[in-house]
Structures are given as C-alpha cells and as structure tokens.
Structure 1
Amino acid sequence: MSVSSSSRGRDLGDTGADRQNTLVLIMFFAAGIVFLDRFGITFLFPQIGGDLHLNHSQLGSLVSVTAVAWAISSLIFSVLSDRFGGRTKWMIVGSLVLFSSAVGLIGLAPNYGTMLLLRAVIGFCEGPALPLIQGAVARASSPGRRGRNMGVVIAGTLLIGSALAPGIMIGLASALGWRLAFPLVAIPGIVVAVLVAVLMREDGSSGADAPRVKARDFRLVLANRNVPLALVGTTVCIGANIGFGTFAPTYLSEEGISRGTATLVLTVYGCIIALGSVITPAVSDRVGRKPALFAAAVCSGLVPVFFVLFAHSVPLLLASLLVGLMAGGSLTLVTYVIPGESVPRELMATAFALQIAVGETIGGALGPQLGGAIADATGSLSNALLLYGAAPVLLAVVALLIRETAPRLGEKAPAPAAHEASGEAALS
C-alpha cells in the first residue's frame, strides 16, 4: 500500500501549534493518571506489606504482574489501532475508565491473592493507554517539536506518577488509611477520561482514502536495526526504572528516614526526573538522539548509586539527584522517539507497543523480582538498588549502536536503506 503526501497532509502532522499544544496538555494529564494509578501503590508498600504480611518478593510481584498484563494488552490494542487507521480516542477513554475502576477496588482486597488479581486487571486495562497516547502526539507533532512533545507526555507520568504521588498516596493513607486511598485516587482517572472524550479530536483519517495497514506491513517495524536495538535499551530502562521505583520508598523507610523526609526526597526526585524528561528530548531535537541517549544512560546509572551513598545526608542526596535532569529523558528517547522515527508513521503505535511489550514482559517483570530476591537473600535493599545502577551500562551501549534519527540532523546521518523508512515516510 502507499500513502501519498496529500493524504499525510490531512492528518494531525500538519496541524497548527495551538492544536498540538492542546493535545499535548490533555495527554500530559492522561499519561500522568496512568502512572499514578499504576505505581502509586509502591509508596504504600510499607503499610500494605505490614498489614497483609508480605515479603519483598511478594511486593515486587504486585508490580511485576501489572507489567506483564500491561505488555500483552498494549501490543494487542496498538496493533488493532494501526491496523484500522490509528483511530484511538475511544480506546484511550475506555482504558482510563476501566483501570481507574479497578484501582478503586484495591482497597477492598482482603489478601495477597485478590490484590495480585486486581493488579493484573489494572495492567491489562492500562496497557493500551500510553502507546496510543504517544502515537497520537507523535502524529500531531511537527518534526522539530516531536522529541519535546513526547517528552512532555512522559513528564506527566513522572510529575504526577512520581513527584506528586508520594504526597498524594502517603497523605491520603496517613489521614484515612491505605484502603480508602485507592478509591479516592481512582476519581481523577474518570475525570481525565471525560476531558479526553470532550476535547480530543480523533486523529485517524476517514473515508475511502483512510490509510489501512496490511498484515504484511508489520514486518517494517523490525526492518530497521534501531528497533531491535531499542528493544534491548527499553528492557533495561524499564526494568531498572520500575525496580528502583518499587523499592526506593521502602529502602528509605528501612534506613530509618522519616516519612516526611522520604516524601520530600521522592517528590524532589520526581520533579527533577519529570523536568529531565522534557529537557533531554528537547536537547536531542538539536544535538541528535545518540549523544542525548548516551548521556541519559550514564546519568540513569548514577541515580540509584547516589541513593545508597547519600541516603543519610539529605542535602547531598538532593544535590546529587540533579543528574536526573539528563536521566529523565532516557525512557522517552529509547522507547518512543527513536523507534517512532525509525518506522513509517502509520506503524508508530505498534512500534511503541512492541517496545512496551518486550520491555514490560522482561524488564518490568524481572526488575522488581530480581531486586526483591536479591534484597531477601542478602538482607539489604541497597544491593538491589546497586543492581539498578549497573543495568544502564547496556543502555549506553545501545546509544552507541543506533543510527541517528533526529530530523534536523537527517542530512548528516547515513541514508537509510529502502526498507528502513523513517517515521517521516509512508508505507510503500
């Protein structure tokens, strides 16, 4: 199949800056709610673990099962979205409503088995959201703003799901108990679903000329070497990020850090990472994806190490966490920007979902499990954090091996082979 330049001109890629900004703002909040509902539970692990008598491995599995279910559903629904022309609005709305409802039921879980089942349901319902959100934003963005816009979406996941989450979850649990916290944090997801339904304009083409992806076209997702390389980087990035996020609150608690101080550290860290998720991709729009990803990988490895070294010196810890201004962009670049620019635009959602499916299944599942097992075997969570500090070495290797995809540097990069069409190209 082929998609002409005129048909591409009718899609969101050629809309004005105002429309781009509106869509990005909506998706900033939508993505943030996704991650608040997914990872907010980790900030209550000390209370939940104590009440339900769970060990570190069981707590880790509550994160891992969500990752596996997330991976499966993200690939299924993203492939369907691309197959039928990228129409995503109501899939995003449905995802937000369903997983928010499941989150509200967590507070009723009487035991580990029930909570594990609910966490799997949450993962399956959340899975399609982020690939479809990023696909909509990527198609709506002009090439020179794509990295920044996609970084803003990830900033939402970090600002709301990491920076604000400790205060929200711990504050609600302290005031009302952890069981009542979950129904309350489910409400914003429903509100954002309504906003998406009312304000988002459908991003697919319509009519006889609407692009339809054929089954054989999906081979192009893996035709460019950047995609399998990014799969390795995404797996490492997701595994280390989820693992670190799972155990960092518990680590600070076990080190005797007060709840107030721990909340401050985690909130500041989340804000820094959120800001970095915008800064690093924006820098990569100008200097290139390769150098930006390499710097982000190095800084990602330093964050867990600094937590271990400076846990008992809050000023030093907060100062050292400034490396997060670069670390925060690693996930955006390796999971979304680079794969999205390495495949035809009609296959972007599938490319993103493939990254998530592999990264979540392997990295997202094994990261918390390995960290929990190491902590239980050695009697110290610091060893788990050091594992997450070593993992990004592989991400740095990936950064050295990928082909440059930044549109502004296209004339400096080697010309891609015919089967390596970039995200600026159409299917052929």
Structure 2
Amino acid sequence: MQHETGRKGWDTSYEWKIILVLSLTFGLVGLDRFILPVLFPAFMKELDLSYQDLGNLVGILAIFWGISAFAMGLLSDRIGRRKVLIPAVIIFSLMSAFSGMAGGLVSLLLIRAVMGLAEGPVASTGVAVAVEASHPKRRGMNNGIFQCMISLFGNAIGPIIATQLLLVTDWRTVFMLVGIPGLVMAAAMFFLVREPAHHVADGAPLARAGFVDLFRHRNLPLAMFTLMCAMGGVFVMGAMMPNYLTDYLHLSLQDMGFVTSAIGFGGCIGQFAMPALSDFFGRKLVTLASYILAAIFTYLFTQAGAGSLATLFWLLFFAALFNFSALAILAGPVAAEAAPVGMVASAAGLVIGAGEIFGGGVAPVIAGRIAASSGIQHVFGFTIASLVLGFVIALFLRETAPRKTGIS
C-alpha cells in the first residue's frame, strides 16, 4: 500500500501530515455529530421533543452514515479519494450550521439524515487514506490517532464547550459555530490529499476485486457483527448519558457537561492507545480484553449514585476507553487487513456501515423506547448485553497484525 511518491523509501512526511489533517477533520465530525445530545436538554421543551425523539435523531444520522460509509467508500475505490472526501467535509459542516435553524422534529430529522450521508464517507474513505499513507507496522497507531479525535472533539471537548457556551448564548448559535471549522479543513484537504498509487503486477494493473471478494476473509463478516455490539455500547452511552445525568441523577447542565466529557477523554485514549498496543499484542487479544473491561466498568457506573462527580467521571472514563478501543480496532486495522487489494475503503465502509446501522441507528432507537417505557436508568443493561455479545463474536477473529503474522 505504499504511496507512489514513496517507492524509493517510505514517504514519512506525507504520512504524518495526512494523519494530522484526517485526525482534525474526524474530530470535527465528532463535534458536529455528538453535540446534539449534549444540547438536547436545552431545546427539547422549546421544540416539544421526547426521549424517543432523541433516540430517533441519533439513529437516523447513524443509519444514513452506515449506508453512505459503504456506498461512498466503494465509490472512492473507483473514482478516487479526493472526489469523495472533500465534498463530504463541506456538506457535513453546512448541515451542522443548519441544525441551528431547525424549527421542529421533521426539519431536524432531515438535516441529520443529510449529515449522516456526508459524515459516513469521512469514516470509510478516511480509514483508507490513513492506511494507504501508513507504514504497515504503524497502521494500528495511525488509525488510532485518526479515530481517537472523534472522541476527543465530540465527547470530551464538545460537551464542555457546548454547556459553557449556553451560559452566554443560545443552542442555535452553538450549532452554527461548530460548523465553521470543517470548511477550513476541507480547504486543507484540497491541497494535501493524494490519490493512492495504482497497484500493478508485472507492469499491468491488477484485476479489481468484486463485492463477493470482500467476504473471502472471515474477519470481515465477523468484524461487521461484533462492531454492531461495540457501536451499540458507544452510541447508546453517548445519546442517553446527558439526560440520564440531568433527569435521573439530577445534575446541573454544567456538571452534566463535565461528567459526560469522560466519554470523550476515555474514548480518545482508548482509540489511540489500544490500536497501537494491538500492533504489538495482536488485534484479537486487545479486542477481547476491551469488550470485557468495557462491560465491567459500564456496570460499575450504573451502580454509582450522584454523590461524587469524580467517581462518575472515572467510571465512565474507563467504560468509554475500552468500548471505543474495540470500535477503533475493528473499524480500522481489522477491516483494512481483511480487505482485498484496492478495496480498503469498501471493506472499511462495509464494517463501519453495518456497525452504524445497528449500533448507531437501531440501538439508540431501542434505548429510547426503553427509556420512555421503563425509565432512562434501564438503558445501560442493554449496553452491557451488547458488549458481552461482542466479546463472544470476537472470539472467532483471525489474527492479522503484521508483527504477529509476519505479513505486511
């Protein structure tokens, strides 16, 4: 997967520059995506919305994200990375700003659906660009850097910024402000992103693999199903946590913002450190450990009351760290290393798409129904069950880390 400019030696300069730009852009994806649940307590009464509406708003974005991640990833394997990635960044940034103009549920649903269509390609095509620019022994680390920014910006910095801005402005202005930086990153990508070198054999282009070829490696379908479980944990946690903290534990908006930020800080470290560790200890072992530890810390969090903000923060921090860790390994290096030649974006998009449609789309809708019918405190039992099921499926993964297999 070496870049054409690096045939005489790995182009490390391009590798680090593109990882930086991709990481900042994916961070903005997280900010634009996850700021809605944080702001939801501030506008749910104004727009006459319910917990079920929250689940639907989170779910519709994820479903369209999932569809688009695969479809546009496949397209980028055909027509190139730039033609897909740059327009996608522009569109999702505009949709974030338009969220601040919504007048009700229908307009918000439409805006979030279009945002999902635009953000999906950043995930799948971004993984492909990161893999193609990375030395094989740094794939896990670089994908971890890329993916961890969605947690840092979306779940860590975002809740703090959003809830503090609400002290000086309204929720509509917050939505509009967070859409601006993405347009700057689209301009940076225009000047930086390169297309991958053509893969050749004996001077002739290799035959392009077909859709069926994506499933020849057993890790791809396994990654699809187990990622559904990881994303079910991540997105139910992200969608329901602000209202759980304010409505059930009766925290203030600012205290809620502080505790909720633990999802982002823990997730960021998990998405960076654990994929990097998987370069050394193997994808399978680190994924299995992540699932078990995520389930344990999520359970401990549900048993903690509102007495200590620090206790809530750290339990949620570690629950998110290990949950996001499993997500990052499966969506990045596991998917990429199972991909046929020339179809990295398609493989990543298929895995991410499946995870998004169920874990990010269906699971929050189910959680919304649980919260509406039984109480929001019961949604985390569903999360823990998803993590345990993910562990069972991951037992059947085949190890693909280059340091463990000797294959690059």
- Name the TM-score, length of structure 1 as normaliser: 0.89
> Which residues in structure 2 correspond to 1:216-255 (within 5 Å)?
217-254=210-247, 255=249
From 35, 46, 59, the counterpart of 2:41? 46
From 378, 384, 388, the counterpart of 1:383? 378
Question: What is the count of residue pairs matched by the alignment?
Answer: 403
Structure 1 position 372 matched with structure 2 position 368: yes
- CA 1:290–1:207: 2 relative to 1, 3 Å: closer
Structure 1 position 287 matched with structure 2 position 281: yes
Q: Which runs of 4+ in 1 moved over 4 A?
A: 11-14, 206-213
Structure 1 position 348 matched with structure 2 position 376: no
Structure 1 position 274 matched with structure 2 position 256: no
Residue 177 (structure 1) shift: 0.5
Structure 1 position 263 matched with structure 2 position 257: yes
1:418 maps to which residue?
A: none
Partner SS for 1:68: helix
From 11, 16, 37, the counterpart of 1:21? 16
From 304, 313, 324, the counterpart of 1:310? 304
1:96 maps to which residue?
A: 89
Residue 40 (structure 1) shift: 1.1
From 165, 189, 204, the counterpart of 2:158? 165
Residue 222 (structure 1) shift: 0.7
Contact 1:238–1:359 at 8 Å: present in 2 too?
A: yes
Residue 10 (structure 1) shift: 2.8
2:318 maps to which residue?
A: 322
1:122 maps to which residue?
A: 115
Q: Deviations over 1:291-344 (max 9, x none)?
A: 100011112223432332224122322333335444331111112211211122
Structure 1 position 71 matched with structure 2 position 66: yes
- CA 1:195–1:149: 2 relative to 1, 3 Å: same
Instruction: Give ranges in structure 2 of 5+ residues lacking alignment.
Output: none
Matched letter for residue 298 of structure 1? I
Residue 160 (structure 1) shift: 0.6
2:26 maps to which residue?
A: 31
Contact 1:134–1:349 at 8 Å: present in 2 too?
A: yes
Moved more, 56-65 or 315-324: 315-324
Residue 205 (structure 1) shift: 3.8
> Which residues in structure 2 correspond to 1:172-211 (within 5 Å)?
172-205=165-198, 211=205
Contact 1:99–1:122 at 8 Å: present in 2 too?
A: yes
Partner SS for 1:51: coil
1:393 maps to which residue?
A: 388
Partner SS for 2:167: helix
Partner SS for 1:175: coil
Q: Distance in 1 between matches of 2:261 and 2:290?
A: 20
- CA 1:120–1:324: 2 relative to 1, 3 Å: closer
Contact 1:240–1:388 at 8 Å: present in 2 too?
A: yes
Instruction: Give ranges in structure 1 of 5+ residues lacking alignment.
Output: 1-6, 412-421
1:335 maps to which residue?
A: 331
- What is the RMSD of the two structures over their aligned residues, measured on CA atoms? 2.2
Residue 210 (structure 1) shift: 8.7
- CA 1:211–1:336: 2 relative to 1, 3 Å: farther
Residue 21 (structure 1) shift: 1.3
Contact 1:303–1:389 at 8 Å: present in 2 too?
A: no
Residue 8 (structure 1) shift: 5.2
1:402 maps to which residue?
A: 397
Residue 229 (structure 1) shift: 0.6
Residue 275 (structure 1) shift: 1.1
Q: Deviations over 1:83-142 (max 9, x none)?
A: 24xx21242111111111121111111111111111111111222111111100011111
Partner SS for 1:176: coil
Matched letter for residue 340 of structure 1? A
Matched letter for residue 52 of structure 1? L
Matched letter for residue 281 of structure 2? V
Matched letter for residue 352 of structure 1? A
Structure 1 position 143 matched with structure 2 position 136: yes
